[in-house]
A and B are shown apart, each in its own frame.
Chain A
Amino acid sequence: MAKDPLAEAGFHFDEVNKLRVLEPDVSQSTAELKEECREFVDKIGQFQKIVGGLISTVDGLAKEAETEKMKAIGARNLLTSVAKQREEHQQLLKGLIAEKKMQLERYRVEYEALSRVEAEQSEFINQFILQK
């Protein structure tokens, strides 16, 4: 087989008769490899994006779980302290009631004294009318 002198010199022609320094097979394989590589990188990127999304979603969930947990703890604490608060409030109200009761007692005494004065005065008026 007569060797192509060009091929010996390392030059080749491709299908569209352009001059190439690489063998058409190799060049084709290279192009294919390149294509495959690109596809691979794309896929990896896609994968990373999906995983990232997953991670952030999980993170968000974790955060939400955490706040819910804190909320639950807070609510539980609040619940336990409500009893105490109620007691305190009750104490406060009791104090105020005692104060008001004292005031009421004062008013009662005042009212009694005034009624006594009124009785005395009406007695005086009656007496006065009778004597006239």
Chain B
Amino acid sequence: MQSAEFVIFVLFFIIFLNTSSHKDLVSCLGWTTADELYSCSDDHQILKWNLVNNETNVVVKLSEDIYPLDMHWFPKTVGGKRQTQAEIFVLTSTDGKFHLVSKMGRIEKSVDAHKGAVLAGRWNYDGTALVTAGEDGLIKIWSKVGMLRSTLANQGSPVYSVAWGPDSDRILYTSGVQLTIKPLQPSAKVMQWKAHDGLVLKVDWNSVNSLILSGGEDCKYKVWDSFGRLLHSSSPHDYPVTSLSWAPDGEMFAVGSFNTLRLCDKTGWSYAVEKPHTGSLFSLAWSADSTQLAGACGNGHVIFAHVLEQCWEWKNFVITLTKRRSMQVTNVMNDAVDILDFRDPVIKASLAFAHLVVATSLQCYVYSSRNWNTPLIFDLKEGTVSLILQAEKHFLLVDGAGLYVFSYEGRLISSPKFLDMRADSLNAQVISLCDDTIAIRDNRDEKVILFFDVLTGKAVGDGNPLTHKLEVVEIALDQCGPATDRKIALIDKNRDLYLASVRHFGRETKICKIGTMVDNIAWNDAANILCGIQDNQLTVWCYPSVVFTDKELLPKTLHIRDSSEFNSAPRILNFSGTKVTLRQGDGSLVYSSVPPYIALLHEYCSSARWEDALCLCRLVKDQSLWACLASMAMANRELTTAEMAYGAIGELPRVEYISMIKEQPSKESALAHMLLFSGQVQEAESALLQAGLIYQAIQVNIDLFNWERALELAVKHKTHVDTVLAHREKFLQKFGKKETNKRFLHYSEGVDVNWENIRAKIEMELSKEREKAANASVRSNGASYR
């Protein structure tokens, strides 16, 4: 499942705190906790706003010559350890200095940084470095205590805004109408591109989705990916964009302008716009839980906004966040309405698999869709839940400190951990949950996917992660079927879609490509059907595992929707039952349905009701359904059904091969041939060798013209060397060639090739095999009789 959360529409709700305010324009602000905000103003005061009791206190009055421009709290998470509160912040001012100021308002240190004003100052994510940008066009990196480390860049024009890259290894800054990304490593390549028609005034870079946001004097805001590709450009506003800020969870961002506050989705379209009388909004700051926003107004006020009217849908239930502490559940089948109340503000919620999981700042509530009155409540250790993922039997909470799997009864099942885990940077694209497995993309090496067992929290199988050849951008685990058949679908940097099995024993993981140009994917919640956006079309992989049994059948099992249905860049939100929910680039929701037969077929096949499956296919008369049935039957070694299904789609060679398999004298050879059918030569050979069928193994290699291996086997087991040589000779004669392989020349010297003998030997082997098989079946019958 791509994302259990399913937000439909969001509104902003703005409140003014009229207790007291600044006497001059507010220039910058920053949250310390979810209820406390510091703001700095041109009246030289630093105010503290407490949202619990609506009080405003003056923290400190700065000296008359300090006009603050930017402030940033020292990050809360430092080296995996999490402090409860931010203790110190950096304050930059017009006199070319930056100040490190404590929570009590004491200036711990003032550093002369730039000529002219210091326009921006930002800590990196782990708090080891500070970057400042000045009117003199310099960008400087400072240590935690304010010692100059380096001057990163020097350009002629003022740098208005600066932001750290997601891994704190790059800096994004404005240079006139351009944006520049400069890595901290001196040798690495600098990227620069023209971003706006007017001066770029503000930039922000989110660490969770690595998207860049910029706004400028051309009155537009734009969304870029980290390679500088434009994803969205807004229509021009009436006034220049003076501030913008990503919500920390990367789902939304806010844009501020003169008398305007706008809330937008990460893809750029706007949820809501408010026109408060604030003057220009000089700065915007989200609280760490991404539910509250504060804006610094030109008229000396500070405005606070909450995200409300979020909506979740599952089957016949619609849930709306009506107040910060209250939700409304509507059952559209009978119009029954329930109100859910919470003690603390709601931070995250997720509705799927008949359960609603709501995380508030202190507690987690679990509701069952059968009973909205009595939730299960348990306390959360850490306040800010950043992600909730649901599977059928349990759900996963992600907060700043780690991952926790809970059952719907509220029991902590496990808490997977790995080296250098950065839980705060996880999003729904790079983590996936199913009933038995959690898959996470490693944040140190984006080619690696780690698997954890849900029940134990330990790495799955032999503990080796799956390593792909390219960076992985999205992963999704299938939701149904036994744990041993668990598959993962992944999209890499080239936008190729691959399928791999999660639990593999001993052998190398098989990873097969099943699509190209795929933008995003989602598994169905009830059957292992995958849907994805391929080249702006909705493609449904009715039975993705077909690649493991019969690769060439894959195109026949696809179900592609007409592209005229959607306009630009749709994204799949949810694939539940037969309904696919997509969000288009302009923010509108569209739905598409998948024929219900596919899920039915999956159900029949998983419960081995092959007769019913055949009936269904005959009823529907659909090629793709037959193709699915053929590969499902083959995967389950159900030869009769497979034969019929292959016949129905006109794959005669395969039908013949299957009937050949059915005529195999022993189970082992039949198994080997089935493995050969799906192209698993190595496995087929080892299966034969294990069963002691040396000749058959050699014959398999001869049939595949794998001469060297055939000879090697023959020599190793000291049998049928002449058979191999005879076939080789025949083969060469047919093509009119001479033997050049040294090994064959060497062995042909001492061996006399006699076809009569060989045929006799082969006949003997076959009869031996038949005899053995007959004995075995008698034995097994006897065993079953006993």
Are B273 and A117 in contact (CB-based, < 8 A)?
no
Report the Cα distance A92→B260, complex, angstroms.
10
Give min CB distance, A99 to chain B, whole Å.
Answer: 5
Is B354 located at the chain interface by the 8 A CB criterion?
Answer: no
Is A70 located at the chain interface by the 8 A CB criterion?
Answer: no
Q: Interface SS of chain B: helix, strand, loop or mixed? A: mixed
Residue numbers in B under 8 Å from A96 (CB-CB): 273, 275
Given A99-B273, A109-B584, verify A117-B238 contact (CB < 8 Å): no
Report the Cα distance A114→B592, complex, angstroms.
8
Residue numbers in A under 8 Å from B565 (CB-CB): 113, 116
A45-89 interface (Cβ within 8 A of B): none
Given A109-B584, A117-B579, verify A95-B275 contact (CB < 8 Å): yes
Are B593 and A110 in contact (CB-based, < 8 A)?
no
Residue numbers in A under 8 Å from B269 (CB-CB): 102
Residue numbers in A under 8 Å from B591 (CB-CB): 110, 113-114, 116-117
Are B270 and A106 in contact (CB-based, < 8 A)?
no
Is B588 located at the chain interface by the 8 A CB criterion?
Answer: yes
Is A120 located at the chain interface by the 8 A CB criterion?
Answer: yes
Residue numbers in B under 8 Å from A91 (CB-CB): 238
Is A121 located at the chain interface by the 8 A CB criterion?
Answer: yes
Is A124 located at the chain interface by the 8 A CB criterion?
Answer: yes
Report the Cα distance A106→B595, complex, angstroms.
26
Is A17 located at the chain interface by the 8 A CB criterion?
Answer: no
Q: Interface SS of chain A: helix, strand, loop or mixed? A: helix
Are B588 and A109 in contact (CB-based, < 8 A)?
yes
Given A116-B565, A121-B593, verify A110-B273 contact (CB < 8 Å): no
Residue numbers in A under 8 Å from B592 (CB-CB): 113, 117
Report the Cα distance A131→B616, complex, angstroms.
12
Given A95-B273, A99-B273, verify A106-B588 contact (CB < 8 Å): yes
Report the Cα distance A16→B275, complex, angstroms.
100
Are A110 and B596 in contact (CB-based, < 8 A)?
no
Give min CB distance, B407 to chain A, whole Å.
Answer: 34
Report, as a range, how many residues of chain B touch the other chain. Answer: 20 to 34
Residue numbers in A under 8 Å from B589 (CB-CB): 106, 109-110, 113
Report the Cα distance A87→B260, complex, angstroms.
17
Are A95 and B238 in contact (CB-based, < 8 A)?
yes
Report the Cα distance A22→B389, complex, angstroms.
125
Give min CB distance, A101 to chain B, whole Å.
Answer: 12
Residue numbers in B under 8 Å from A39 (CB-CB): none
Of B272, B275, B587, B593, which one neighbours A92 at CB under 8 angstroms?
B275
Is B104 located at the chain interface by the 8 A CB criterion?
Answer: no
Residue numbers in B under 8 Å from A121 (CB-CB): 593
Of A99, A107, A131, which one neighbours B619 at CB under 8 angstroms?
A131
Is B586 located at the chain interface by the 8 A CB criterion?
Answer: yes
Give min CB distance, B782 to chain A, whole Å.
Answer: 48
Report the Cα distance A96→B275, complex, angstroms.
9
Is B590 located at the chain interface by the 8 A CB criterion?
Answer: yes
Is A32 located at the chain interface by the 8 A CB criterion?
Answer: no
Given A99-B270, A117-B579, A131-B619, verify A109-B590 contact (CB < 8 Å): yes
Chain B, residue nearest A108 (CB): B588
Give min CB distance, B267 to chain A, whole Å.
Answer: 13
Give min CB distance, A28 to chain B, whole Å.
Answer: 79
Of A92, A95, A105, which one neighbours B588 at CB under 8 angstroms?
A105
Are B588 and A110 in contact (CB-based, < 8 A)?
yes
A21-40 interface (Cβ within 8 A of B): none
Chain A, residue nearest B619 (CB): A131
Residue numbers in A under 8 Å from B270 (CB-CB): 99, 102
Are B588 and A117 in contact (CB-based, < 8 A)?
no
Residue numbers in A under 8 Å from B272 (CB-CB): 99
Residue numbers in B under 8 Å from A124 (CB-CB): 595-596
Residue numbers in B under 8 Å from A92 (CB-CB): 259, 275
- Given contact pairs A95-B273, A106-B586, A107-B588, a sample of 12 additional A-B residue pairs in the complex whose CB atoms are under 8 Å apart: A91-B238, A96-B273, A99-B270, A99-B273, A102-B269, A102-B270, A106-B587, A106-B588, A109-B586, A117-B579, A117-B591, A121-B593
Interface residues of B (CB under 8 A from A): 238, 259-260, 269-270, 272-273, 275, 565, 579, 584, 586-593, 595-596, 619
Could you pull out 10 A-B pairs where Cβ atoms are within 8 angstroms?
Answer: A92-B259, A95-B238, A95-B273, A96-B273, A107-B588, A108-B588, A109-B586, A110-B591, A114-B591, A131-B619
Interface residues of A (CB under 8 A from B): 91-92, 95-96, 99, 102, 105-110, 113-114, 116-117, 120-121, 124, 131
**Interface pairs A-B: 6 shortest CB-CB:** A106-B588, A113-B590, A109-B588, A110-B589, A113-B591, A117-B593
